[in-house]
Amino acid sequence: MLWWLGRDRPFRSVILMQMLHSTTFISRVGPLFLAASERGLVALEFDARLPGQQTIRPNPRDLRAEIKGVRFEESEAAMQLYVRELDEYFAGNRREFTFALDLRGTEFQRACWRALVAIPYGETRSYADIARAVGKPQAFRAVGMANNRNPVAIVVPCHRVIASDGTLCGYGGGLHIKRKLLELEGALTGTLAA
């Protein structure tokens, strides 16, 4: 959060440190890093990320603005609800998540992410479908970039978005993870199952 100081120093700012609770969850698709604020889940990231993929975690070789002002506190107790629901999802006993999300992005990104959450379990949509759902039918490439910036994998199910020709395409955790998630949900049919 950025706070501007009083009139005596109008151009100086103070960055307040935000504390996020975090934990690592060992799932069927590998380790997942989770971070939450008091408002809800902020991040769910695959431990093994593709080069250049966005992360909330600090990387000594790539300190970017999005992680400045954030401190992590490992807390299994504070993350218990998130871990329990993810465990139920991977066991095939949960189709929807009930916990709050604290999604941080542009208004367009958040609109895309809301459209992703609306995709029912076990179904897929194309990038063009999501573009139409957010009222920007020609913006399928921008939708792809919003998916790429999705900070809460699995829960905001960008794995349910496929190419218009019905094939799997790009996924932050890798196509093998996307395939596993769609198999878990029973969404692999036709071209996708091949």
120 φ/ψ sector (left φ>0, alpha ψ -120 to 50, else beta):
beta
- List the Cα angle 43/49/53 in 5-degree steps: 75
Provide the 8-state DSSP code for 66.
G
* Residue-wise burial string across 147-186, b where 16 or more C-beta atoms lie within 10 A, e elsewhere: bbbbbbbbbbbbbbbbbeeeebebbbbbeebbbbbbebbe
Q: Is 112 a catalytic residue?
A: no
Residue among 158, 162, 182, 187 flagged as catalytic:
158
Query: Which are the catalytic amino acids?
Result: 158
